Chain A
Amino acid sequence: MKKQLVIIGGGPAGLAAAVAAYDAGVRDIAVIEREERAGGILKQCIHNGFGLTRFKESMTGPEYAQRFLDEVNARGIEIMTGTFVTGLGADKKVTCMNERGVFTLEAGAVILAMGCRERSKGALNIAGTRPAGLFSAGTAQKYVNIYGHLPGRRVVILGSGDIGLIMARRMTLEGAKVECVCEIMEHSGGLRRNIAQCLDDFGIPLYLEHTIVEIKGKERVESVVIAQVDKEKKPILGTEREIFCDTVLFSVGLIPENELTKGAGLALDPHTKGCFVDENRETDIPGVFACGNVLHVHDLVDFVSEEAEVAGRAAAAYLACGERERAYIPTEAGENVGYVLPQRAGKGKDVKLYFRVRSAFRNAVIRVEAGAAVKTYRRIAVAPGEMENVTVKAADLADAPSVRVSVVREA
């Protein structure tokens, strides 16, 4: 079966991309969603704070998803739910499976919007036993918010990513006692507002530079041993402390889910764990685009929607005009910057660069160097958990060999 545009994933990225592509003229669109309902992880994020940047109002996750779902439905765009993509070829053939069988869609263009997954406890090499009661924070969130089961009553959380912080508050509100949140880094990976609203407001201690070194309990978790870590993140002897608990939640990072991407032969950026893209979010395969958390992990869904719209419009332009020869300049992460996205920017137009800082500090200066042109921008505070962006003017990019973003402390 032929399809002009196949969008893999019906979460916030896929839905926004579909609407944008439709509005740019594409009519033959299929959004492939593996779950029974579109909306992605937003469906289980019942807390508010979504949409503040984009809509200037605070919505819950399901409300935010519904807003886009309504737009998709108003346009009559097809969403194939309960459908799993088993393979993607460099020739843009998408192999799918659902209750009706296995079938292949021959796509004119593909948008990758598969999202990300949580890094699991198993990846951390924690000593001890493997009893019941160990959950990824998002899995616990699904049990609580979708199915109404409270995993446990006495909780330790490892990792201060946003899901872990949100779940600290959620478990507390449902009557569990959250003993502490341990974070191996010297700063939290979560939004500052989440630390204030989810931990501080409930008196939940955050132990920075601490980790779990051992899990105890034969059938159900009985306790964990936590310890302070040194600069190399190695546990410091003598700082161990046993904390009794029946549940441990892990919020130790998100990994873009790029197995299909790799299957198509696309290389991944070791820093973003997603594809290399240009400012249109077009990958190394012409006509294949990527957006949302499969491209790089976002902290705010508002930026996922924005990025997906870029990809949706670009896919429509590709379908209308085909492949075009273009001149690019590479982007580079300078001092104190983890990565810059997109990894290459087309010449001739303004480009919005997204980036993450490596450490948190106040009075920051963002420095953008494009050849001889140097621009600086002030920020009151920056943190690794909060993605930053700046827009570079086309004129500044015209003759530059590359564009480099650094963040330094104000002198």
Chain B
Amino acid sequence: MSACSGAAAGAQQSAAGWRIFSADGREVWARAVVNCAGAGAEQVARLFGDAFFRIGFRRGEYMLFDRAAGAHAVHTVFSVPTKAGKGVLVTPTADGNLLAGPTSVEEETYTTAVRRSAFAQIAPKASAMLKNIPFGQVITSFAGERAYSDRHDFILEWGKSGVFHAAGIESPGLTSSPAIAAHIAKEVSAALGAKKNAGFVPVRRSIHWFKDLSAEEKNAVIAQDAAYGRIVCRCEEVTLGEVRDAMRQNPPARTLDGIKLRTRAGMGRCQSGFCQPSVFNELMREFGMAAKEVTKFGGKSNVIVGGEL
């Protein structure tokens, strides 16, 4: 099972295991707990009474370009890494966009706001590596926090509490993650005496897959479900079938951003200008939500706050 959209607010240990609860009153019971909370890893460790590492943040800001500019770079270009990391790079993305960034800003608190100075920092560094970057074709900019620890790198160990911590993973964290996951599985299953579940399917299929099918394959899918014949997001050519699929997966995508991240609807050049009301209506229909209940990404990120006419 999974409990989405809830930050862990507290934890209690008993003979039966850990009771972990969220601020809105939901709770889960667990015999083993793995802390892989990224930027929140220190906070989560403290909930369980472990305090053997500190987490700091390095904010990285990016500029994302239209897919029409994607061919501007044919592979990732970056300069010689420094202590602060790899620095600004220019790269095509897996989905065919062009991406420039990130910056690197050390800070104490977590924020994903883009600074005013970010653009002036990224542009010259990117331009030093690649000529004629089409800065007029930026479609959005955003920031993320890279968590780093005072123990330098790669904390993968049991805390005194009996919680397993995977924290402070620095570059190349993404590349390492499959190996880290295998390591955690081995540690935790040994501790629990758990056996391998032969029926477990470790692979989840992508939801955004229809666009690249051949015409014959598309026709076969549309014959089964006509919703795949209706484009919702014109920029990324995402179909209604894919949007519905995203809402019916476990766990379901229940927000505009949830559907965007799974299907790419709203990630294109118009940045959801055309498809947002359609996706909004689908969320209302699928989950029986009122307009005022639909959010961008949960919490109080409600899309409509002015009322009904």
What residue in chain B is nearest A114 (Cβ atoms)?
B234
B63 close to A120 (CB less than 8 A): no
Number of A interface residues in the complex (CB < 8 A): 52
Most chain A CB within a 10 A radius of its CB, from B64, B140, B297: B140
> Which of A99, A123, A149, A174 sits near B138, CB closer than 8 Å?
A123
Q: A173-185 toward B: CB 8 Å interface, digit per residue (1/0)?
A: 0111000000000
Give the residues in chain B near A129, CB-CB below 8 Å: 111-114
Give the residues in chain A near B140, CB-CB below 8 Å: 120, 122-123, 130
Task: Choose the segment among B10-18, B31-39, B115-123, B150-158 that binds chain A (4+ C-beta atoms closer than 8 Å).
Answer: B115-123
A286 on the interface (CB 8 Å rule)? no
B309 close to A150 (CB less than 8 A): yes
A73 on the interface (CB 8 Å rule)? no
Most chain B CB within a 10 A radius of its CB, from A95, A148, A149, A174: A149
B276 on the interface (CB 8 Å rule)? yes
A174 close to B306 (CB less than 8 A): yes
Interface size class of B (residues with CB under 8 A): 35 or more
Q: A78-89 toward B: CB 8 Å interface, digit per residue (1/0)?
A: 000010101000
Give the residues in chain B near A59, CB-CB below 8 Å: none
> Which of B215, B299, B300, B306 sits near A149, CB closer than 8 Å?
B306
A102 on the interface (CB 8 Å rule)? yes
B301 close to A219 (CB less than 8 A): yes
A97 close to B229 (CB less than 8 A): yes
> Which of B115, B118, B139, B222 sits near A101, CB closer than 8 Å?
B222
Give the residues in chain B near A213, CB-CB below 8 Å: 116
Tell whether A86 pairs with B237 under 8 Å between CB atoms, given A101-B218, A151-B303, A176-B306: yes
Which residues A126-180 have CB closer than 8 A to chain B? 127-133, 136, 138-139, 142-144, 146-153, 171, 174-176
Tell whether A151 pairs with B304 under 8 Å between CB atoms, given A101-B229, A122-B138, A127-B115: yes
What residue in chain A is nearest B255 (Cβ atoms)?
A132
B302 close to A220 (CB less than 8 A): yes
Give the residues in chain B near A118, CB-CB below 8 Å: 270, 273
Expressed in whole angstroms, the minimum distance between the Cβ of A33 and any Cβ of chain B is 12
> Which of B111, B215, B305, B306 sits near A102, CB closer than 8 Å?
B215
A219 close to B299 (CB less than 8 A): yes
A120 and B274 CA atoms in complex are apart in Å by: 11
B305 close to A151 (CB less than 8 A): yes
Most chain B CB within a 10 A radius of its CB, from A142, A153, A176: A142
B306 close to A153 (CB less than 8 A): yes
Q: A207-229 toward B: CB 8 Å interface, digit per residue (1/0)?
A: 00000011010011000000000
> Which of B227, B271, B274, B304 sits near A143, CB closer than 8 Å?
B304
What residue in chain A is nearest B309 (Cβ atoms)?
A148
Expressed in whole angstroms, the minimum distance between the Cβ of A365 and any Cβ of chain B is 33
> Which of B113, B227, B306 sits near A150, CB closer than 8 Å?
B306
A138 close to B273 (CB less than 8 A): yes
Give the residues in chain A near B234, CB-CB below 8 Å: 34, 84
B229 close to A147 (CB less than 8 A): no
A257 and B112 CA atoms in complex are apart in Å by: 31
A147 close to B291 (CB less than 8 A): yes
A260 and B1 CA atoms in complex are apart in Å by: 44
Q: List 27 A-B residue pairs with CB atoms under 8 Å apart, sorted by A's residue number.
A: A97-B231, A101-B218, A120-B269, A120-B272, A120-B273, A127-B116, A128-B113, A129-B114, A130-B112, A132-B301, A132-B303, A143-B304, A147-B281, A149-B304, A149-B306, A150-B304, A152-B306, A153-B305, A153-B306, A153-B307, A171-B306, A174-B306, A175-B307, A176-B306, A214-B116, A219-B300, A220-B305
